[in-house]
Structure 1
Amino acid sequence: MGSISKSIIQFSLDLMSNIRSTERDKNTSISPLSISATLCLLLLGSNEDTARQIEQCLHLPESQMQLKDERRGFGKLCGNKMKKEEVADVHSQFRELLYKLNSPKTGSVLTIANAAFTQMNFPLSKDYLRNAEDFYQAKVETVDFQDDKARQQINSWVEEKTQGKITNLLSENSLDISTSLILINATYFKGFWKSKFKEENTTTAPFYTSKDSEILVPMMRQNAKFNLGIIEEIEAQIIELPYETEDLCMCIILPNEVDGLQKMEKQITAESVLKWTDPGFLTSTRLELQLPRFQIEMNYDLSQNLMNMGMVDAFSQQKANLSGISEIGLYLSKVVHKCFIEINEEGTEAAAGTAAVIIPKSLNIFKVDHPFVCFIKHKDTILFHTMVYSP
C-alpha cells in the first residue's frame, strides 16, 4: 500500500498548493482520496498522452509510469479489449485500498462509494464497465441527461452515501444535454475520539489569525496522553489524536510561529508526511490539548487546478484520448468537488463528493490557537486534508 499512499499524499499537497495559490489565508479542505478515486476511474479508460498526464498529475508509482502506452487503458490491445489481469498495477492497488477502507470497523464509520452514471443508449466499452466495477466497485446506472431529474438522481445518490453532508454536488445548469458519462465518488467518515473532550471544559478563547488579529472561538480542552513530535526542520510540532477505531487518527501539524503556516506548507512533502506521522517519530506525552471546535464546508471546480498540474489533454476536445471508455470520442468537461468537515468534543465527521463530467468531443501545552493543517489518516492513506485559517 505504500506506493499508492505516497501518491495520494503528494497529489494532495500539490492540489492544495495549487488551490491556495489564489486562496491565501482562507480555509481549504479537500479529500484527496475522493478525487484520486474519480481520476483513476478516468485513467482506467484513458490512453497515450491523456493517460500519461493523469498518471503524472496523480504521482502514480513508477511501475505504472513505465508501462507501454497500450497497457495504460483499454484502447489499443486485443482489438480495443483488455483482459482484467493486464490492467496496470495501480488499479489493483486501489482495489486493495478500497477493500481495506470499506471493511467493517468498530467505533467509526468509513465508506467510499464509486459510481458511473451514463446516458441511456450510449455505447460504453463492456471491458471498461466490467473493470470499473471490479477494481473500483463502481456501479453503473443509466439515466437521461436531457432531463434534470438525472442531475437530481446523482445528487441524491451522493447525499445518501455521505449521510446528508454533501448536497447539490451538481448545481443547476451544470450539465450539458450532450453529457454522456459522469464518474462519481462519495466518501464519508465519522469517528469518535479515543479520548473525548468534555463539553463543560469548552470555553471561548482567542484564535490568532495573524500576529495582529484574533477571533474568539469555542476552544475544547483536555489533559491526556498523546503522541507528540517536534519537527525541527520546519519549526513545528505534530500531535496525533487517535479515534476509537484502530488505524484511524487525526494528525495536526502546528507551526511554532503564529504566521508560520505559509512558510511551513512549502516545506511539506509526501516523504516528510510519512516520516512525521510514523509511530516511531512520535513520543507519548501527557499534555493539555486545546483544540478549536469548528465546521468547514468547501465547494470547488477543480478543472483549472488539474490543468495547471499538467492534466491538460483530458480537457481538450482535440487531444483527449478516452478511447478505453467508448469508441465515440470523449473529453472531460469538468471536475467538481465538495468537502465537509466538523470537529467537536465527540469526534470528527467528514464527507466529500467528486464528479468528473464527461462529454463527447464537439508540548506541556499544545495549543492550537493559530492557523494549522490537519490530516484524517488511515495507516494506508490520507483521507482528508484541511488547512484552517479561521475556524
Structure 2
Amino acid sequence: MKPLVILLLLTVLAATANAAHVPAAATPPPYNYEDFAQAMNHFNAKMYKQIIEMSEDKNVVFSPLSISQVLGMILAGARTSTRSQIMQTLGVPGVSDLTVHENMLGATDLLPQSGNGPALDIANGIFVQEQYQLYENYTQLLQDYYNAVSQSFNPSNSQEASDRINQWVADQTNDMIQKLVNPGMFNGLTRLALLNAVYFNGQWKEKFTSSRFPLRFHLTDGSTKNVERMRLRSHLHRLIDRTTLQMDFVAIPYSSGPTPTTIMVIGKPINTRGLTELTPSALKALSKLNPSEWAVVDILLTMPKFNVSSEINAKKVLQKMGITKLFNRWESDLSGMNEEPLYCSDFVHKSKIEVDEKGTRAAAATVAIIMSRTIQMYQSFVVNKPFFFGIYNVPSKMFVFMGRVNNPLQE
C-alpha cells in the first residue's frame, strides 16, 4: 500500500458542497458564501503546500480553520498595507473587511455542534495586558463575529502568563494540546495574545473492524513498516484523478444522521511512492475537491490507525505566503487595535489527531502574540571619566573595599 495523505476537513461539506449537505438546522449566510468558501479552500491548499515543504518527510496535521480564525481577528485591527497583505493572502482582496468577518462567522455557524453526531467546538480568546486599553470597537467586533472572550493577564510575569494561556488551551481542547506557548514569548512589551482552540470528536457512520494481521506500509525511502490495520466494507464516495492531482481519493463519513455533513478525505498517490509536488494547477484542483460529486462505489477500505502531532511555525508559513509586514517591527500597522505602534512577534500553531476503528479525535490551537514596538527606554549612565568604586556589604552596612580609578589602563 502506498503512503497516504491525510486531508482532515475540519469543516462541514457545506463549505464546498451543495445545499443538500447543509445541516437542516443551519441557515446559510445571506451573502455569497460559496465564493468565500472557495477562496478559503484555495488559501488552505496553499498553506498545506508551504507546511508540507517545510516539514520534509515528517507526518503533518494542522487546522486551517484555527489559523484563519486568528488571522481574521488580526485583520480586524490591521490597517493600510498590513491589511492589504492579509486580504490578498486570504484571496479576498476585493471585498470589505466586514464581509470577511461575516463569512468567518457564517462558516462557524455551519459547523457541527455538540449533540447527535460529530462535534466541533471552537473557542476564541483575547488575553490583554493589565491596564492596557484596546479600542472598544475592536473588542466589540471580535466579540460579535468571533465570540472572543477577553481577559487580562500580566505578561511581565512570563511564567505566569505562559501557564495561564496553556491552561486555557488545555481546557478548550480536552487536554489534547499542551504547552502552546513558553515564557520566552512574553515580556513587559507584550500587549495581547489572540487565541483560537478547536476540538473535534466524531464517530464513524460505519465502524471499522480491526485486524490482528499488520498492514505493510511503504515509506518514501523504499523501506516498509508493519502497522496496525483497520478495514471497512461500505458504499463510499470515490474519485480517481489521473491528470492534475494523480491521486485516488475516498470519503469516509462520520455519523450525523441520514445525510453526512462531516467526512474524512483520504488521498493516496496513483503512480508514485510518495506524494508529488503540488503545482499551481494541482493546488487549484485540491481546493475545488467536492466529495458530494464523486461516484459512490462498493469499497473494501484498508488503512492504518494513526496518531499525528505537529507544532508549526505559522509565522514563517504566512511570511512565505506573502504576509510580511505584520511581523515587521517597523512596518506593521495594527492601529485598529490601539494607537500605540504594534506588531506580531509570534504566530504558533499546534495540532493533534487520533484515528482508530471507532472514529476520530482531533484538536488544534493557534496563538498570535502582539507586542509594542516602542523601544524600552533606559536611563543613561556612562563611566568615561575618573570614578569611585567600592564593594559594599548590605547586612553590615559597610564597605569592604574602596578605591578610585583615574586611568583604566594603569594598573
TM-score by length of 1: 0.82
- The answer to whether the Cα contact below 8 Å between 2:112 and 2:118 also exists between their aligned partners in 1 is no
What stretches of structure 1 move > 3 A for 4+ residues in a row? 102-105, 263-267, 273-276
1:55 Cα deviation after fit? 1.1
- For 2:271 and 2:213, the matched residues in 1 are separated by 23
Q: In the alignment, is residue 161 of structure 1 matched against residue 172 of structure 2?
A: yes
CA distance in 2, matches of 1:31, 1:95: 17
The residue that corresponds to 1:3 in the other structure is 35
Q: Match of 1:49? A: 81
After superposition, give the CA deviation of every residue in 1:160-211 in whole Å (9 maximum; x if it has no partner): 1111101111023222231110000001101111011123x35311110136
Aligned counterparts of 1:9 and 1:202: Cα–Cα separation in 2: 38
CA distance in 2, matches of 1:235, 1:333: 39
One-letter amino acid of the counterpart of residue 307, structure 2 = Q
Question: Residue type of the partner of 2:132?
Answer: F
Q: Which residue of 46, 53, 57 corresponds with 1:14? A: 46
Matched, 1:126 2:122: no
Query: Amino acid of the residue matched to residue 186 of structure 1?
Result: A
| CA distances 1:18-39 after superposition (whole Å, capped 9, x unpaired) | 2233322221211100000001
Does the 8 A contact of 2:204 with 2:359 survive in 1?
yes
Q: Deviations 1:303-328 (Å, cap 9, x if unpaired)? A: 12211211111111111110000011
In the TM superposition, residue 118 of structure 1 has moved relative to its aligned partner by 0.3
Q: CA deviation at 1:348?
A: 0.8
RMSD: 1.8
Shift of 1:274: 5.3
Q: Is residue 2:360 matched to residue 1:328?
A: no
Residue 296 (str. 1) matches residue 301 (str. 2): no
Aligned partner letter, 2:275: L
> How many residues are treated as equivalent by the alignment?
337
Corresponding letter in the other structure for 1:124:
L
The corresponding residue for 2:381 is none
**Gapped runs of 5+ residues in structure 2?**
1-32, 375-411
8 Å CA contact 1:300–1:337 kept in 2: the answer is yes
The DSSP-based 3-state class of the residue aligned with 1:240 is strand
Equivalent position to 2:188, from 173, 177, 180: 177
Residues 4 and 60 in structure 1, CA contact (< 8 A), matched pair in contact too: yes
Residue of structure 1 aligned with 2:271, choices 257, 274, 296? 257
265 and 208 in structure 1: CA distance in 2 versus 1, 3 angstrom threshold: farther
Please give the residue correspondences for 1:199-238 in structure 2 after superposition, counting only pairs within 5 Å. Answer: 199=210, 201=211, 203-210=213-220, 212-233=222-243, 234-238=245-249
Q: Structure 1: 5+ residue runs without aligned partners?
A: 65-71, 73-87, 363-391
Cα 1:176/1:230, change in 2 over 3 Å: same
Specify whether residues 155 and 211 from structure 1 end up closer, same or farther in structure 2 by C-alpha distance, changes over 3 A only: closer
> Are the equivalent residues in 2 in contact too, given 1:111–1:187 (CA < 8 A)?
yes
Structure 2 length as normaliser, TM-score?
Answer: 0.78
- In structure 2, what residue type is equivalent to 1:208? H
- For 1:235 and 1:301, locate their aligned partners in 2 and report how far apart those are by CA, in whole Å: 29
- In the alignment, the residues of structure 2 paired with residue 109 and residue 202 of structure 1 have an alpha-carbon distance, to the nearest angstrom, of 31
2:61 pairs with one of 23, 29, 48? 29
2:122 — aligned with what?
112
Corresponding residue for residue 91 of structure 1: 101
